[in-house]
Amino acid sequence: MRALRLILLVLVVLLAWLQYRLWLGNGGTREVAALQAKVEQQARQNAGLQERNDALAAEVADLKSGEAAIEERARSELGMIKPGETFYRVVEPVAEPAPVDEETPP
């Protein structure tokens, strides 16, 4: 009878120790959840960077393939115009502030 109690006590202690390691110990569920969150965050970041790389690769392909992309870039970024074209700059008028009523204090 005493041996049975001792075995039962050892099994309960072993179970408690295993549960502690599962939930709170190194490599436990908390750590696994934190690592999964980091992996998901890194995957989102990688997807964004992949989209950026794809856009840059498409731009490089456009620049290598023809003059239209080069012309568009020169016009938008450098403000260049073709010979015979006239450049017009449209300037919006600056809005004047509304007049302020100056009341004299009583």
pLDDT of residue 97: 75
pTM here?
0.43
**pLDDT beneath 50: ranges in the chain:** none
The pLDDT tens digits for 57-79 are 988 887 787 777 778 778 888 87
* pLDDT at residue 85 in the model: 84
pLDDT of 102 reads 67
Q: CA 43, CA 52: separation in Å to the nearest integer?
A: 14
Asked if residues 81 and 75 have their Cβ atoms less than 8 Å apart, the reply is: yes
What is the C-alpha separation between 85 and 102, in angstroms, rounded?
52
What values do phi and psi take at 88, rounded to 5?
-120, 135
